[in-house]
């Protein structure tokens, strides 16, 4: 067990207007199970890279801990290598038998180590990497978002695995995972960094209490300042009126006054001006005492959505629907029966490869073709609505059974893939006929820094790209919102913002999302594939 001591850490990327970290100091224990959260772009991955010594910085990071980082980097032809070969590059000191001992805890067949890495699914790759990561001894492990793109079953396996480990920093936006796996929290607030014992929920409850107290204190403080300002203004006006009366007077109206009273009036005015200065100093002192009171409060702006009302109550109807690709023998999904009515928030659940995205493609094709028909369909190449669709499995997507959608249905679609986001935000808004200023306003409400607006979207982080897709969808009036894994890489605070938005406006939605808390909060119906 050892300490990692961070003292006066300052770091900024070359060419950036602001530093990522400014004079930051804190300490953490390498025996902890540490959850690490913060807004997108606040510097979580940057801090892990600083621990690894990849960037130069001011200040000091002192520790005798040895670090290892997940995910391991795989380049080009390395995808053709087996996991057994790659582990020698990832962790040269790892012993093969120790990796084999970790695999059963992750429900992984040891035979996967002998397969080319490119043939493994996202979940299998993640599990193999984690097995290698934890096969060492006394390493302090830096784990960066291990559950992105994983289905519920894989997430549950990784949650159970990590809950039995210690000695790591876990960067994650999954509240369920953090609650199960960590005993301390490291939080990048708006202006400070804090370390607190407990899991995410205990930290969040404490934060809400602290924020409520800070707001009450600030409200009381503002009333006190208002009274002081009113008194100072009143005294200032008296002093000014008195000062103006020093010279010149009407002997008829002011028969009790003589030129000798000038010195008395001057002394009285000076005393009043002194009182004004004391008021101003007191106001400044009050402000200084409360300065920073609200600097770390997450004042999530209320987002808005503009759902349209359709004249039909039932928007989608499936009866005994089966889907398969023309070049595949087995159906992707079969005998599926469900419907989506206006106002419902329907979640599609199922393991990776169970046909969730294929079903969405079929529905989108029916909508694009005008609805009220059910026959074979090819996967559409693009949509006028946000996002794009491609037949990743190849071939035409064929269906049997019944799939009908309401006619003239307008849909707003978020694709789980962000690779199509290129160029400037302005060009993106123009191509989709969106109000550019409103797009930027929503991105600001999602806490995206204005300096990012000058960059091309391909230079955004994955979380920032997802926020562009969400903002685009929110600006698109629609009867139906279809979101395919919208929350990958999205920070906890923005997730809570989006939850509140959907709760308030209750748009009709069809969603694929593996965030347990998000689904439990919003779901009116769940379809198991």
CATH number (domain holding residue 395): 3.40.50.300
Identify whether 309 is part of a domain. Answer: no
Is residue 197 situated within a structural domain?
Answer: no
Please report, in tens digits, the pLDDT of each residue of the chain (529 residues total). Answer: 689 999 999 998 887 777 889 899 999 999 999 999 998 888 899 999 999 999 999 999 999 999 999 999 998 889 999 999 999 899 988 899 999 999 999 999 999 999 999 998 888 999 999 999 999 888 999 999 999 888 888 999 999 999 999 999 999 999 999 999 999 999 998 778 899 999 999 999 998 888 888 778 777 777 776 776 777 677 667 666 665 555 555 555 555 555 556 565 666 666 766 777 777 777 667 666 655 555 556 666 678 888 999 999 999 999 999 988 877 778 888 889 999 999 999 999 988 878 888 899 999 988 887 655 433 333 333 343 333 333 334 458 888 899 999 999 999 999 888 889 999 999 999 999 999 999 999 999 888 888 889 889 998 888 899 999 999 999 999 999 999 999 988 999 899 999 999 999 999 999 999 899 999 999 999 999 8
The strand order across the sheet containing 66-70 reads 66-70, 139-144, 168-171, 33-38, 184-188, 193-197
**Largest distance between two CA atoms of the chain:** 114
Q: Could you count the other beta carbons within 10 Å of the beta carbon of residue 333? A: 19
Question: Contact, 43 vs 16, CB < 8 A?
Answer: no
Are 247 and 346 in a shared domain?
A: no
Domain presence at residue 159: yes
The answer to whether residue 296 sits within a structural domain is no
Range of the domain at 133: 3-190
188-206: burial string, b at 16+ Cβ within 10 Å, e else: bbeeebeeeebbbeebbee
Same domain, 160 and 214: no
Verdict on whether the full-model pTM lies above 0.85 = no
Determine if residue 335 is left, alpha or beta; phi over 0 gives left, psi from -120 to 50 gives alpha, anything else beta: left
- What is the Cα 431 distance to its own chain's centre? 26
Whether residue 124 sits in one domain with residue 266: no
Alpha-helical segments (H) within 291-371: 356-368
For residue 199, is it within any domain?
no
428 and 281 in one domain? no
SS3 string, 452-473, reads: HHHCCHHHCCHHHHHHHHHHHH
* 198 part of a folded domain: no
**Which three-class secondary structure string do you get for 187-230?**
EECCCCEEEEECCHHHHHHHHHHHHHHHHHHHHHHHHHHHHHHH
Query: Is there a single domain that holds both residue 62 and residue 183?
Result: yes
The token duo for 359 is: 């079903």
pLDDT at 297: 64
Region of 371 please: left (phi>0), alpha (psi -120 to 50) or beta: left
Number of domains in the chain: 3
Tell whether 486 and 348 lie within a shared domain.
yes
Domain end (from 164, 190, 216): 190
Task: Examine the domain organization and report whether 143 and 240 are in the same domain.
Answer: no
Q: Residues 260, 321: one domain? A: no
Residues 479, 342 share a domain: yes
Nearest-angstrom CA–CA distance, 379 and 480: 19
Q: Indicate if 519 and 377 belong to the same structural domain.
A: yes
Residues 369 and 428 reside in one and the same domain: yes
Query: Pick from 258, 290, 322: which residue ends a domain?
Result: 290
Structure tokens at 499: 């939850």
Domain annotation covers residue 308: no
Residue 252 and residue 213 share a domain: yes
Query: Is residue 31 one of the residues assigned to a domain?
Result: yes
């Amino acid at each position: 067990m050892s300490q990692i001591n961070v003292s006066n850490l300052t770091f900024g990327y070359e060419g950036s207007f602001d530093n990522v970290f400014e004079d930051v100091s804190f300490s953490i224990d390498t025996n902890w199970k540490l959850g690490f959260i913060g807004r997108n772009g606040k510097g979580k991955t940057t801090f892990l890279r600083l621990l690894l010594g990849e960037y130069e910085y001011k200040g000091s990071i002192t520790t005798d801990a040895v670090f290892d980082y997940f995910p391991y980097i795989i380049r080009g032809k390395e995808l053709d290598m087996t996991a057994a070969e790659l582990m020698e590059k990832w962790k040269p000191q790892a012993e093969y038998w120790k990796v084999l001992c970790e695999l059963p805890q992750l429900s992984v067949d040891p035979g996967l180590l002998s397969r080319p890495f490119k043939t493994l699914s996202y979940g299998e790759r993640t599990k193999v990497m984690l097995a290698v990561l934890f096969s060492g001894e006394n390493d302090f492990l830096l784990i960066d978002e291990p559950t992105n793109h994983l289905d519920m079953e894989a997430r549950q396996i990784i949650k159970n695995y990590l809950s039995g480990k210690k000695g790591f920093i876990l960067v994650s936006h999954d509240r369920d995972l953090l609650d199960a796996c960590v005993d301390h929290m490291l939080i990048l607030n708006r202006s400070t960094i804090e370390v607190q014992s407990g899991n995410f929920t205990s930290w969040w409850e404490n934060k809400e209490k602290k924020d409520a107290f800070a707001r009450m204190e600030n409200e009381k403080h503002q009333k006190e300042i208002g009274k002081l300002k009113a008194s100072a203004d009143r005294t200032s006006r008296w002093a000014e009126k008195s000062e103006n009366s020093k010279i010149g007077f009407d002997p008829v109206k002011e028969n009790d006054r003589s030129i000798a009273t000038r010195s008395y009036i001057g002394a009285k005015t000076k005393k009043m001006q002194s009182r004004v200065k004391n008021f101003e100093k007191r106001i400044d002192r009050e402000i200084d005492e409360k300065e920073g009171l609200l600097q770390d409060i997450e004042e999530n702006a209320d987002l808005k959505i503009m759902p349209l009302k359709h004249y039909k109550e039932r928007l989608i109807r499936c009866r005994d629907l089966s889907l398969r690709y023309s070049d595949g023998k087995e159906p992707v999904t079969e005998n599926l029966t469900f419907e989506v009515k206006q106002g419902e928030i329907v979640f599609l659940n199922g393991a990776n490869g169970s046909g969730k995205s294929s079903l969405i493609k079929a529905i989108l094709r029916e909508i694009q073709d005008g609805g009220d028909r059910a026959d074979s369909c090819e996967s559409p190449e693009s949509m006028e609505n946000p996002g794009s669709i491609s037949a990743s499995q190849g071939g035409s997507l064929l269906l049997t059974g019944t799939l009908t959608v309401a006619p003239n249905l307008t849909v707003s679609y978020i694709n789980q893939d962000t690779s199509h986001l290129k160029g400037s935000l302005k060009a993106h808004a123009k191509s989709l006929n969106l109000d550019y200023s409103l797009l930027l306003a929503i991105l600001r409400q999602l806490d995206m820094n204005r300096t990012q607006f000058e960059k091309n979207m391909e230079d955004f982080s994955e979380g920032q790209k997802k926020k562009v897709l969400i903002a685009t969808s929110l600006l698109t009036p629609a009867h139906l919102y279809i979101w395919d894994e919208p929350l990958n890489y999205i920070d906890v605070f923005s997730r809570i913002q989006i939850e509140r938005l959907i709760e308030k406006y209750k748009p009709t939605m069809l969603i694929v999302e593996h965030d347990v808390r998000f689904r439990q909060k919003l779901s009116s119906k769940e379809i198991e594939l």
